[in-house]
Structure 1
């Protein structure tokens, strides 16, 4: 039976923790993949000429991983004596991809990983964000439902926000070199949310909160130099969170667009009606003039006024000739 943590992924896609982890490990590195599952990360790293060893608790997954990696030790990541197993300076990189949240003492795992790193070696860590917007919305509805995988994986026993993760690393004597976060919209995850039960505008408000779109954090960390104050950083978004088709914000935008469309249609109808009224009035006025000219009153009045117009024109000519 394959591990539930077996993933097919494209290393070129950076808005995934797996793609980011593979991307930041230098080619030709000696790598220890703690919690290697069936060895899918190590398999991708071999394309970069890395030599990858694994640690895995699940024996069946470890058996599969052995076909992909240089070696695999079946052990609990918290209890393994890393230095006795591999020796000091054995690795350039230790990968802790989605591992620390499964342990009671992540500090112990970090200590063991550091014991086998070279002096300039790095840890590459990925970890879910318990402050993601989906969990915030779920809690507003009184929901904290575990799932087989994801932010509330049923085997998670530790939960981290960005701040508490940094506290853990600083306490372990580590300094963050680089940090990213994969992104996901609060309504586009496996977390159980009913948008229809939420107050108007609350989803968009949550979307705008700091780091609320961060689904997982991916970090490169190193030993802090003696006397160094470990710097605190902000993770860089690895992609854009895609808003699902039926999200409240999109529905609201569609409704607004429909209202504008209807308003424009109404204005067009009003303009068309006004033009028709003006045209009708112009036609009516012209018909009235023509009818007047044909009337007896018009003909009589015109006949009375014609001699007067003739006298006036004659007087103007005589005045012009005298001058």
Structure 2
């Protein structure tokens, strides 16, 4: 696969479309070469496709002189070039052919693979460049995975798609760098063009171990189809030192690019994990909403049962009133019965007296017969009244039995009412227990959701935020400290914590390890320390604490504070018992416990570039006296 056969096909298609000003995407080889060349430059173009590169360069305002190997290319290149030179670049006297002109850029595309002596060609090109001119080239990578696998399978490297039969020279990254170094050039930019060919390859038939193939796939050179080079000519004697410096800078840039690529891959993986956590949290939220709906239904049932209980109480009150009324009627009947009993007793006494009189009358038989007959008649009358009184007593007895039956029914109603009360109490107690269990489940679900959020924040902080922090280039947070924390800035200057070479940054995550700072301060009766604390997820609990450490490495005193009371907009004051601080040799240890959320504090750091590792730390704090 070469520039002539692949990348420029897309360029020619775009140029022949309805919009002739459309340029190739900056991710293609042609597009990236155009970005390296720039605009409004004097360009000597050698070995490229006339229909693509010359026209694209002219469209970007460049003044193009083209060198074509055949006369056929002259007619096609002429409309887009100021001049066209025909001939073999290795045989032409380019300095004479160009009339001693000097160029800003010499674009050789993939010409270096099709010449016999590329070093001599580069030396000739050096004489055509302005003092600050450069050579731009795109060279196929013979260490590409498809080439390696083709050769391991015993096939020609030309079958890989990266190289073709017109190539006389083959390059790896090291060979290419050595070629430019030997020709007196310093490479200022060495980019990689990666494509999907690295994920493919010929069927090796089990001849090569899978571990070897996987190792080749993970090699950055295996994923690179072309190297895109921009190099300046560096004359001796200072050229050697400049090339060494440029090589070191280029290698450092490539390391940073590789690190950025790995960081981007890690960010994508973490983004997928966070999306999974977000879906899980949404599921928990749906569960909480369902439990809240059930709780509302339970409340409606309890309210309905309360209404039924009130109705039962009203019915009981009504039955109690009826019972009291029946008791009053029964008392009246009992009084009437007593009155009749008194009358019967009176009648009986009268009967006894009449019997005595009748006995006395018999003795006077003859005299008193008339009176006896009258007495008998009266006696019969008394008997009739007695029978009537007995009948009335029987009626009273019947009414008394009915009253007893009413009392029995009333007792039965009381028993039923007590049973209803007991059943209602049991139902309400069961519903209350169910409601308490559901509320506990809701609280547990909320706690799990909080824990998941804290774990997601910790994972995101541990894998992403540190790398992203260096990439942002935010080197000093001194000007971003809230106005409420001005006392921390004042004391940091007074105590000498802020010094040249130190920058105010966030510390490491205190979940992983505590931090011990030097505290060269003399102060009597120190009662606490004020820090600037940042908690990733608020409300997850935990404790932050500090310890004063003496020169003999003993903990003199300590103080703690709940993380729920911490705000990232205000200084966090942690108090301890009054202690005299003696100056040099004293230390301040900061730690956290039982926190699922990442916690950091602001500190002064001194870094070594480019390793980006803190070598010295000083506290950003105020001692409370």
TM-score by length of 1: 0.65
Aligned length: 234
1:133-282 alignment runs, 5 A limit: 133-146=145-158, 150-187=161-198, 193-194=202-203, 197=206, 199-226=209-236, 227-228=238-239, 229=241, 230=243, 231-232=246-247, 233-234=250-251
1:290 corresponds in structure 2 to none
Q: For residues 198 and 93 of structure 2, what CA distance do their matches in structure 1 show? A: 42
Aligned to 1:122, which of 134, 138, 145?
Answer: 134
Decide whether the 8 Å contact of 2:69 with 2:88 is kept in 1. yes
Decide whether the 8 Å contact of 1:39 with 1:68 is kept in 2. no
- Alpha-carbon offset, residue 13 of structure 1: 2.2
Q: For residues 199 and 165 of structure 2, what CA distance do their matches in structure 1 show? A: 19
Cα deviation digits, residues 18-52 of structure 1 (max 9, x gap) = 11111111211010101133241121112221111
Distance 1:43 1:155, change over 3 A: same
Decide whether the 8 Å contact of 2:198 with 2:217 is kept in 1. no
Distance 1:175 1:187, change over 3 A: closer
Aligned to 2:27, which of 10, 15, 20?
Answer: 15
Decide whether the 8 Å contact of 1:179 with 1:219 is kept in 2. yes
Q: Which has the larger radius of gyration?
A: 2
Q: For residues 162 and 32 of structure 2, what CA distance do their matches in structure 1 show? A: 18
1:29 corresponds in structure 2 to 41
Q: For residues 186 and 207 of structure 1, what CA distance do their matches in structure 2 show? A: 10
Q: For residues 142 and 195 of structure 1, what CA distance do their matches in structure 2 show? A: 9
Which consecutive unaligned segments of at least 5 residues does structure 2 have? 15-22, 262-625
Larger relative helix fraction: 2
Q: For residues 131 and 219 of structure 2, what CA distance do their matches in structure 1 show? A: 38
1:317 corresponds in structure 2 to none
Decide whether the 8 Å contact of 1:173 with 1:224 is kept in 2. yes
Cα deviation digits, residues 104-156 of structure 1 (max 9, x gap) = 00012112212211111111111011111111111211122425x95221100
* 1:48 matched to 2:60: yes
Distance 1:81 1:225, change over 3 A: closer
Which consecutive unaligned segments of at least 5 residues does structure 1 have? 241-323
1:78-93 alignment runs, 5 A limit: 78-93=90-105
SS at 2:143's partner residue? coil
Q: For residues 126 and 145 of structure 1, what CA distance do their matches in structure 2 show? A: 19
Cα deviation digits, residues 165-224 of structure 1 (max 9, x gap) = 1101000000011111100244567xx722665543444321112421111011110011
Cα deviation digits, residues 276-297 of structure 1 (max 9, x gap) = xxxxxxxxxxxxxxxxxxxxxx
Aligned to 1:63, which of 44, 51, 75?
Answer: 75
SS at 2:168's partner residue? coil
Decide whether the 8 Å contact of 1:89 with 1:118 is kept in 2. no
Distance 1:36 1:70, change over 3 A: farther
Q: For residues 105 and 33 of structure 2, what CA distance do their matches in structure 1 show? A: 11
SS at 1:62's partner residue? helix
Q: For residues 20 and 108 of structure 1, what CA distance do their matches in structure 2 show? A: 26
Q: For residues 173 and 79 of structure 2, what CA distance do their matches in structure 1 show? A: 36
1:291 corresponds in structure 2 to none
Decide whether the 8 Å contact of 1:37 with 1:62 is kept in 2. no
Decide whether the 8 Å contact of 1:186 with 1:207 is kept in 2. no
Decide whether the 8 Å contact of 2:199 with 2:217 is kept in 1. no
Moved more, 108-117 or 10-19: 10-19
Decide whether the 8 Å contact of 1:83 with 1:116 is kept in 2. yes
TM-score by length of 2: 0.35
Cα deviation digits, residues 29-77 of structure 1 (max 9, x gap) = 0101011332411211122211111011133233312232222111111
Q: For residues 69 and 199 of structure 2, what CA distance do their matches in structure 1 show? A: 31
Decide whether the 8 Å contact of 2:39 with 2:62 is kept in 1. yes
Decide whether the 8 Å contact of 2:46 with 2:111 is kept in 1. yes
Q: CA RMSD in A?
A: 2.6
Q: For residues 187 and 173 of structure 1, what CA distance do their matches in structure 2 show? A: 33
* 1:77 matched to 2:89: yes
Decide whether the 8 Å contact of 1:89 with 1:119 is kept in 2. no
1:303 corresponds in structure 2 to none
